[in-house]
Every structure is written in C-alpha cells, then in structure tokens.
C-alpha cells in the first residue's frame, strides 16, 4: 500500500485530486507508483481516502478517489505530539 500526501481542496471538475502541479510532488515518481499500486491512500493531515493514480492529458497526474472511504480507516497508535524528554 502506498500513501501520497495531497491537498483535498485542490480538485478538478471531476472531483479528482490534482497532484502533478503541487510543489511537494516535484520529484514524485507517479508513473512508477501507478504501475506498482492499484490502490493508493491519499492523506491530507489526519484525513484519508483511497483511490488510484490516473494520468490526465491536460492536468497530469491526478488522484481518482473514492470519497465514500473518508473516515473509514484508522491508524494506531494515534499521533503523539513531541514533548519534553526525560533526562537522568
């Protein structure tokens, strides 16, 4: 399973996640990922959805997501904020 960071507010008219133009994905090997993974988990902060990568002729790589999967997955342990460390 592969996870990809995304901006869930950055969508096209088909409700797909626009990925290729995000600065954080300049070096992301989308073609290689699409070959290896049928299902991808897209992450925006604590929100996750599942879907797949699709190459769009005009937009480049987009995430075709199943929005019904939002809030259907849980991760354990819960995220822990860094705090003070114990010292001897």
Task: Please write the tens of the pLDDT for every residue from 34-51.
Answer: 999 889 999 998 889 999
Residue 62 has pLDDT above 90, yes or no: yes
Of the candidate ranges 57-61, 67-71, 82-86, the one whose mean pLDDT is the lowest? 82-86
Phi, psi of 64 (to 5 degrees): -85, 105
Query: What pLDDT does 22 receive?
Result: 87
Extents of the domains making up the chain: 2-68
Report the relative pairing of strands 40-44 and 47-56 from DSSP bridges: antiparallel
Please tell me whether the peptide bond between 77 and the residue prior to it is cis, using omega within 30 degrees of 0.
Answer: yes
pTM of full prediction above 0.85: no
In the predicted structure, residue 74 carries a pLDDT above the cut 70? no
Angle at 21 between CA 19 and CA 25, to 5 degrees: 65
């Amino acid at each position: 399973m592969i996870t990809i960071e995304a901006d869930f507010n950055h969508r096209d008219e088909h409700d797909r996640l626009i990925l290729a133009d995000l600065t954080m994905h300049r070096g992301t090997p989308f073609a290689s990922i699409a070959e290896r993974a049928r299902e991808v988990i897209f992450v925006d902060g604590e929100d996750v959805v599942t879907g797949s990568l699709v190459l769009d002729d005009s937009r480049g790589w987009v995430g075709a997501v199943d929005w019904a999967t939002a809030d259907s997955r849980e991760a354990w342990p819960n995220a822990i904020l860094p705090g003070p460390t114990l010292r001897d």
